Amino acid sequence: MPGSRVRRSPKPSSASDEKDAINRVKDQPIMIRLKHVVFGAVGLPVIVLLGAWIGFFNVGASSGHWKVTALFLQLAMRSAVRTYALAVDAPKTLDRRGLPAAAGHFARGCAICHGEPGEPRSPAVMRMLPQPPNLALTVGDWTDAQLFRIVKHGIRFTGMPAWPARDRDDEVWAMVAFLRELPKLDANEFRALAFDAGQATGGEREPAAPAALADCRRCHGSDGQGRGDLVPALAGQKQAYLFASLHAFASGDRTSGFMALPVTGVDPADLAALARHFAAQRPLSADRDQVPAEMVNKGQQIAEIGIPERNVPACSGCHIGSDKNPIYPHLDGQHAAYLERQLKLFRSENRGGTQFWRIMATAAQRLTDDDIRAVSAYFSKRSEGPQ
């Protein structure tokens, strides 16, 4: 190319000199000069941008990635998951009590892309790039921590979404536990886990109930008792509390990935009807788990007197009696595991709720794990009225 450095070398007089000069330049260590930097920093992005602007890059999914791109993306994804999962603290054994809720969530939130037992992925999804894998076949490739990382954060640029609620690692672990079950499930077993048995027969369907009710029943049951220990019973709960809680889920004031999806797009009038429906159901029969009597007694102490020396107020002041604020929920007969989970969430300030949640967060602040277990056991056994 004319005008290059060689011509401008100090003594271009003779041919041999010129040759020397060329050799000298060749032997010089390669140096990064300012113009390289300027060209690279400004020129390349401009060229790439230009390419994008004139439509050089094919964003169509039909032709797939080039083999090398696909391999690179897979490598990048797998390595990133592997690296980031190192920071995840996986429990030794996965808690299986959340399986029904996770299965219910899977049926609505994941199966559309990943398919479910007995229900192949739709042809439309099969044309996604990358294709969502059939998880029953691939979960074995990942450790628990890696699955946690994927389910919690999603995978960028692939359509794989992040968990819909922050600070709910407990829910993500429940989903990981379910993914571990998935390869073992056939179509019937999956439906038994993800749908309520009463649903097949239509349950006690009433004409006024909104369509969303079918969705609620998958997790809360046709009888409103809550399927699995971590899904709250709603039957007989105060209507005002149910209604205010549904709004809290819808607005994000109370975060739960399991509840975020069902309340999305439901008309506020329908939320009121749903609250009315569950409040009118026959309240709960008490939990049948065997718990040592001394634990229940300790729980009763906390419920009726509190723990004054640690500034824990008596729960009964807000939760027992029919004359209490209708936003203060009944706890009687509620699943103990659910109560425990909520109290721990309150204690760590990860449980929002209605406008009143702060009061409860204050009350839960100084409870120890033992207190929480005891008082939850007590309330799950308790029933209002003549004891």
Partner 1 sequence: MSANVGLSVLVGCAFLLLAKGSNWAAAEELGHQRAKVIEPSIAPAALIAPQLEDPAAPQDPPGTGLSLFLRNGCGACHTIRGTEARGTIGPDLSHIGSRTAIGAGILPNSEEAIARFIARPDLQKPGVKMPAFDMLPQTEIQTIARYLKALQ
Q: Does 175 bind ligand HEC (CB under 6 A)?
A: yes
In whole angstroms, the minimum distance from the beta carbon of 363 to ligand HEC comes to 4
In whole angstroms, the minimum distance from the beta carbon of 337 to ligand HEC comes to 11
Q: Does 225 bind ligand HEC (CB under 6 A)?
A: no
Instruction: List the x/- string, 342-381, binding to ligand HEC by CB under 6 A.
Output: xx---------xx-xx-xx-xx-----------x------
Q: Does 163 bind partner 1 (CB under 8 A)?
A: yes
DSSP 98-134: GHHHHHHHHHHHTHHHH-BTTBPPPHHHHTSSSPPP-
Among residues 213, 219, 260, 345, which is the contact residue for partner 1, using CB under 8 A? 260
Q: Does 329 bind partner 1 (CB under 8 A)?
A: no
Residues 6 or more apart in contact with residue 294 via CB below 8 angstroms: none
Among residues 99, 147, 185, 377, which is the contact residue for ligand HEC, using CB under 6 A? 147
> What's the rounded Cα separation, in Å, for the pair 271 and 83?
43
Among residues 178, 243, 378, 379, which is the contact residue for partner 1, using CB under 8 A? 243
> What's the rounded Cα separation, in Å, for the pair 190 and 181?
10
> What's the rounded Cα separation, in Å, for the pair 177 and 159?
22
Among residues 94, 99, 109, 247, which is the contact residue for ligand HEC, using CB under 6 A? 109
In whole angstroms, the minimum distance from the beta carbon of 109 to ligand HEC comes to 5
Alpha-carbon dihedral angle through residues 37, 41, 47, 51, given to the nearest 10 degrees: 140
DSSP 262-326: HHTT--HHHHHHHHHHHHHS--PPPP-----HHHHHHHHHHHHH-BGGGTBPPTHHHHSSTTS-T
Name which of 44 and 128 has its Cβ closer to ligand HEC: 128
Q: Does 88 bind ligand HEC (CB under 6 A)?
A: no
Residues 303-322 that bind ligand HEC (CB under 6 A): 312-313, 315, 317-319
Beta carbons within 10 angstroms of residue 371's beta carbon: 19
